Structure 1
C-alpha cells in the first residue's frame, strides 16, 4: 500500500489530529495492561508502535504510516482493530472513526432504559423553567433562556462557554469541580472538531486560548475526547450553596451544527433539594 500525494488542506488538518490522537493514546497504555512484560527500562511511557501493530494484527510499517498521518486508505475493520488494541472507550472510538473518514459504529442496544426514561420525563416536565441554552459548533451561545442568564450570566452572541471558562476566574469559581469541568469542556471541543474536520476555526480557537490559559494548553495537548449526552454538574450559588444539576446535552435535528444544553434537577434528588425553578428564581431576585 502506497501513500498518495498532494492531499487537500482539510485532509492535512484531519490527519494532524489523527497523528496526535494516536500518539497520546498509545502513551497512556502500560505494556503490563496488555500482557507485555519487558525487563529493559523504557525511555518513553506507553506502548511502542510495533507493539500496537502486533496487537491490532497489522504491519508495523502500515501502522507507522497511519500514526504519521500519511494519506492512506483505512478500512473500518482496521479502525476497529486499532481501537481494540488501544482499548479506546466508545466516545474515543467514535472520534477515531471520524478522523479516518468513517461513520462511527453503532453502539450496542441497552436493555435497561429506566435512567433514560427518568431523564426524558424530567426534561418534558421541566422544559419551561430549567436553565437552557443552544451553542454553535464552537461552544458560542446562540440562544439562552432567562433562567440560564440568571444562573450563568450568559448573554447570547457574546458568550463562548469554553473561552469564558478558561479566561474568566469568576466563571471557574462557580464550579467546585473545576478541573473535571475544564477537562470535559476541552474533551467535548475535541469531539466537535472531529465532526467538522475541514474547519480550521477549531485550531485557531485552541491556539488563541492556549496562549492565554496554560491549563487549557495542557489539557488540549492531552488529546482527551468526550461527547457526553448527560453528566452531573455542581454549581456554587452565593444564595443557595452548592447545587447539583443533571446536565443534558442534545443535538438539534433542525440545527445540525448546534447543541442544546439543559440543566435539570437530577431524578431521585432528595426532597430537601429545591427544584431548579426555585433556585433560579431566588438567584435572579438577588441580582
Structure 2
C-alpha cells in the first residue's frame, strides 16, 4: 500500500476529530462532514486547498517538513502524533524495514525482572506480545505470560475485561500506542495479521483503530480487579530497552503508603479464584468463588512458573502463538 495513501487516510481521520470551534472557526449549521473541511485545514495551515486535497488523495508524495508542521498545527496534533505523521510521509525507500528474526529478550533482562519478587514486570515486543515476564506478573494476570499478545487478549479474552476496571481507557491507550509504533512498518505482515484479526472480531477495536489516535504513555495508573486481593490501583512505568528496538519493560507498583501497597505481591500466595476465572480450570460457574486452591491452576505459590491453562470450558483451546502468527514472541508479546 502506498505510503502517500496512508498519510491521506491519517489526515482525513484527524481532521474529522477537530471541531471548528476548537480552532476558532464558526461551527455553522449546514455541515455535511464531521470535523473540519479540507479548505479549513488548508486555511489554518497556510497552504492552498488544492495542494491539501492532493495530499489527502495521495497525489503528492513528498510534502516538506515545513508543510507537515503547518498541517500538524492546524490539526492540533501532539508531539507523538507529529512524529507519526512525519514517518507516514517518508519515502518507502527510506522507511524502516523490520527484521525477519524473532524478537528475543536478553538473559540479563530476564534475570533482572526475575530478581524483583514483589514487582510485577514483563517485556513487550513491538506489537505487545509478551516476550518475558516474572512470576509475580503472571500471578497478577496469567494472560501476561510469555507468548501471549496482550493487545489481542485485551479485546478478545473476557477475563481481561473483568481484570481491568478501566477497560475502556486501557484499550484506548493500547491502540494509540500500537498505532504510534507502527508508522515505519504499516505493511508489516505481522502487524497486518494482528490488525485484521482484531478488526474482524472486535467492534471496539475497529472504532478505536479508525480514529487513528497516536499516543505513547510511558507512565500512569491502571485500575485492576484481582481475583484474590480485590481492587488494585497500580502505577506502571514503561522503559525502552537499549539495543532491543521495539521492546518495552513494564513494571507495576503501588503508591508508597497506599492501601494497595504490597497487594500485588500478595497475589502470589495461595488463595481462591472467582468463578469468572475458575471456569477455565473446569470449575462450575455459580457466581461465587472457587473452593479449590489457586495453586491448582490459576496462580501458584511464589517460585513456580505460572502459565495460563490450555483450555477454556466450552470454547476449545486458548489460542497461543504459533510460528508465523502475529502473536508469537521470540522466547515463547
Q: SS where residue 179 of structure 2 aligns?
A: helix
1:200-239 correspondence to structure 2 within 5 Å: 200-239=189-228
Q: Check conservation: 1:151, 1:283, Cα contact below 8 A.
A: no
- 1:189 and 1:130, CA in 2 relative to 1: closer, same or farther beyond 3 A? same
Are the equivalent residues in 1 in contact too, given 2:118–2:262 (CA < 8 A)? no
Assess, with a 3 A threshold, how the Cα gap between structure 1 residues 188 and 52 changes in structure 2: closer, same or farther: same
8 Å Cα contact 2:122/2:251 also seen in 1: yes
- The equivalent of 1:5 in structure 2 is none
Equivalent runs, 1:244-255 vs 2, <5 Å: 244-255=233-244
SS at match of 1:62: helix
Q: Deviations over 1:53-92 (max 9, x none)?
A: 1111112121111122234212221111111100112221
What is the rounded CA distance, in whole Å, between the counterparts of 1:222 and 1:265 in structure 2?
32
Task: Output the CA distance in 1 between the equivalents of 2:152 and 2:28.
Answer: 46
Say yes or no: does 1:186 pair with 2:162.
Answer: no
Please report the TM-score for the alignment, with normalisation by the length of structure 1.
0.80
Query: 2:270 and 2:215 mapped to 1: Cα distance?
Result: 31
TM-score with structure 2 length normalisation? 0.70
Partner of 1:155: 145
SS at match of 1:143: strand
From 23, 26, 31, the equivalent of 2:20 is 31
C-alpha RMSD over aligned residues? 2.5
* Aligned residue number for residue 119 of structure 1: none
In 2, the alpha carbon distance for the partners of 1:50 and 1:131 equals 50
How far apart in 2 are the matches of 1:45 and 1:63?
18
Q: Please state which structure has a larger fraction of its residues in helix.
A: 1
Aligned residue pair count: 253
What corresponds to 2:246 in structure 1?
257
- Indicate the residue corresponding to 2:44 in structure 1: 55
Unaligned 5+ runs, structure 2: 92-111, 272-292, 300-333
Distance change (3 Å), C-alpha of 1:214 and 1:197: closer
Provide the residue aligned with 1:281 in structure 2.
268
State the alpha-carbon separation in 2 of the partners of residues 16 and 283 from structure 1. Answer: 54
Note closer, same or farther for the CA distance 1:73–1:146 as it changes in structure 2 (3 Å cut). Answer: same
Report Cα offsets for 1:190-219 as digits up to 9, x if no partner: 112114345233222111111111111111
- Structure with greater Cα Rg: 2
Structure 1 unaligned segments of length 5 or more: list them: 1-8, 103-122
Q: Per-residue deviation at 1:281?
A: 2.9
- How big is each residue's C-alpha offset from its partner over 1:24-76, in whole Å with a ceiling of 9 and x where there is no partner? 21111122222222645111111111110111111212111112223421222
Partner of 2:257: 270
Report 1:127-138 matches (<5 A).
127=116, 129-138=118-127
